[in-house]
Structure formats: C-alpha cells, structure tokens
Amino acid sequence: MRRIRILVAYDGTDYCGWQIQPNGITIEEVLNDKLSKLTGEDIHVIGASRTDSGVHALGNVAVFDTESPIPPDRMAYALNQKLSEDIVVVRSEEVPLDWHPRYQKQVTKTYEYHIYNAAFPNPLKRRYSAFVSFPMDIEKMRKGAFFLVGEHDFVSFCNVRTNVEDTVRRIDGIEIDKKGEDITIRVTGNGFLYNMVRIIAGTLIRVGRGFYTPEKVKEILDAKERTKAGVTAPPEGLVLVEIKYGCQGLEGRE
C-alpha cells in the first residue's frame, strides 16, 4: 500500500464544490470515480481544502491510498487521460502513509479574489471574476486590508453556519493590485474559515466603493459579529492558488 499526493487544478464553475454531497457532482466525487476505474480499487481521496460550489483552484492538494503498480510520478498522466478538461492533476508523488493534507504543523494557503471593474460586464470574465460596475478606490481598500493582517478572531468574517469552535486565524498578508479593469485581492494565511476570503472580499469591495471607511474594517473585526461585515462575494471570483507545507511549496503554477 502506498499513499499518493496529487496537486489538483480545476474550474469549479460546473461543480458543487470539492466535498461529496447529494445535490450535485463534486470534484472529490469525480476524482474518486476516475481513480477507482484507473486502479480497480475503491479509492477515496482526502483533500486539503474543501472549496465551495463554483470556486476554482490552481493548487489544491489531496492524497489517496493504492496498491496500483502505476509509478507515483506517472499517476498524474494516467489520471488526466480519464478526467475532463476542467480538472487537471498537475503533479503526483508518493508520501509517507501517515501524511495528511489537513493535519500538518506548518501550512500556508494563498487565495486570490478576482474582480472585473468596468462600466459593463465582459462575457469572457464572467466565470472567473466578480463584476463591479462602480468605481473603486484601491488605496482605501489597501488601508482597510491592513487591519486584517496578523492573528485575530475572524468570527465577523465567517459564515454563521460554520461548525468550528476556534475562529482565530492568522493572515500573513493581503495584496490588492489593479491592472486595467482587473482587480486582484491576494490573501495568504495559515487557514481560513468557511466563506472567510469571500466575506473579506465583499467587505473590501464596500470600502472601495465608499460605503465603508478603511477604519470600519477594524470595527467589524472587533465586533465579532457576522452581520457587521459586508456580503459574501460571489464564488466565481475565488481561486485557491497554492498550499505550502513548511518550506515545501506545492504550487499550482510557476
């Protein structure tokens, strides 16, 4: 028996998220099915991040156990032959049997939230960006984001349906860049609560549009009340870019 770690990229538009659920097809379900057919075994992958419906990834990480004779580094090539074009295994490798993608001492995740900021929508951007038609002040968004960096209780930026008891997380950095009509909010931290990045994005959008002052972000953080923050931004703008374990990077892109 061997444990294989895979790096997975996907367009989440047509999927109900990562985790198997009864109301639609998911990334986990597809991987289980294709791997089981490939190996002739009953395969169940374990993912590092259970992304929501419609959310994309360049570098999600998962593991599965197999007795297949396929070499670990060739598993990605074999599996991609069975997957549709919107799911790609970028890399495959063997890891110790006790290695778990969600229970490591040092984990850093990076997400990007993409916004298309123009007078009219761009149909080529609709699957991968949230559309905002009103002007946005990037400098104010950056000032507001500053208050979120560090270790805080992020319960104000968490979906009320979350079932975790500890809502303290650490954000190492938030970068906000604008190129033409495209705005990217890049958030890196040690872990994220349910809908946390999308709520941060929704709140910073309100700062950018002038509904909130940058200082309002600190008030929301200190309030520890979900209703004080902005709306949850749409899922299509969110991408899980990479997950790093210690000093080892498992990037989905160079």
Catalytic positions are 52
Q: Which amino acid is located at 85 in the chain? A: E
Token pair of 2, please? Answer: 């061997």
Q: What angle do CA 164, 171, 102 make, to 5 degrees?
A: 50
3-class DSSP assignment, residue 102: coil
The Cα 140–Cα 138 span in angstroms is 5
Q: What is the DSSP letter of 235?
A: G
What is the model's pLDDT at position 253?
35
Give the pLDDT confidence score for residue 105 in this predicted structure. Answer: 84
CA distances from 85 to 23, 137, 188, 239 (A): 22, 37, 28, 17
Tokens of 50: 């259970």
Q: What is the structure's pLDDT at 247? A: 54
**Are 246 and 62 in contact, with CB atoms under 8 Å apart?**
no
Are 110 and 241 spatial neighbours (Cβ–Cβ below 8 Å)?
Answer: yes
Contacts for 115 with CB less than 8 Å, ≥ 6 apart: 129, 130, 131, 132, 136, 182, 183, 184, 185, 201, 205, 237
Q: How far apart are CA 233 and CA 29, in angstroms?
A: 26
Angle 67-242-164 (CA atoms, 0-180°, nearest 5)?
A: 85
Q: What is the pTM of this model?
A: 0.93
Report the C-alpha dihedral over residues 205, 208, 211, 217, rounded to 10 degrees: 70
Cα within 13 Å of Cα(19), Cβ side = 6
Residue-by-residue DSSP string for 22-74: TTB--HHHHHHHHHHHHHSS----EES--PPTT-EEEEEEEEEEE---S-GGG
**What is the chain's pLDDT, residue by residue, as a tens digit (254 residues)?**
999 999 999 999 999 999 999 889 999 999 999 999 999 999 999 999 999 999 999 999 999 999 999 999 999 999 999 999 999 999 999 999 999 999 988 899 999 999 999 999 999 999 999 999 999 999 999 999 999 999 999 999 998 877 788 999 999 999 999 999 999 999 999 999 999 999 999 999 999 999 999 999 999 999 999 999 999 999 999 999 999 998 554 443 32
